Amino acid sequence: MKIETDEYVVDCTRPHLAVLSGAMRLASPKAYQDLFEHVHEGLSHAEDTYTIDLQGVQFMNSAGITAMARLVLAARKLDRPLVIRASAAVPWQKKTIASLERLHPRLQVDLS
């Protein structure tokens, strides 16, 4: 499933991979929960490591970061290895995404 708007894209068409890009300014964690439903579904059905690629996300508000933390907690509950690819060149990603590692021992943050 691929969701495209003028501001962002959530692409879950490949197994074991979700690619997000654009500026994500949804109003609430609930709005992100609906948007990330396919990401969560992919995570639930993955037989091994699931990857979320955020390198193309220029902006994500606090509601989105909360929703990402919930995805990490879901991976922990499933005992699923999770990789989050982030960009060290995007300040919010460098500062925020690495802190999610505390939520799940099998989370690997790849800051490139």
Range of the domain at 59: 2-111
Domain count, the chain: 1
Tokens 């005992």 found at: 79
23 contacts 53 by C-beta, under 8 angstroms: no
Q: Taking 90 as the threshold, does the pLDDT of residue 29 lie above it? A: no
Q: Taking 90 as the threshold, does the pLDDT of residue 34 lie above it? A: no
pLDDT-derived band at 62, boundaries 50, 70, 90: very high
Single-letter amino acid code for the residue at 13: T
Residues 107 and 58: their CA atoms lie apart, in Å, by 22
**pTM for the full model?**
0.94
CATH number of the domain enclosing 59: 3.30.750.24
Which helix (H) or strand (E) segment is 56 a member of? Answer: strand 50-60
Residues 90 and 16: their CA atoms lie apart, in Å, by 24
Tens digit of each residue's pLDDT (9 = 90 or more) over 70-86: 999 999 999 999 999 99
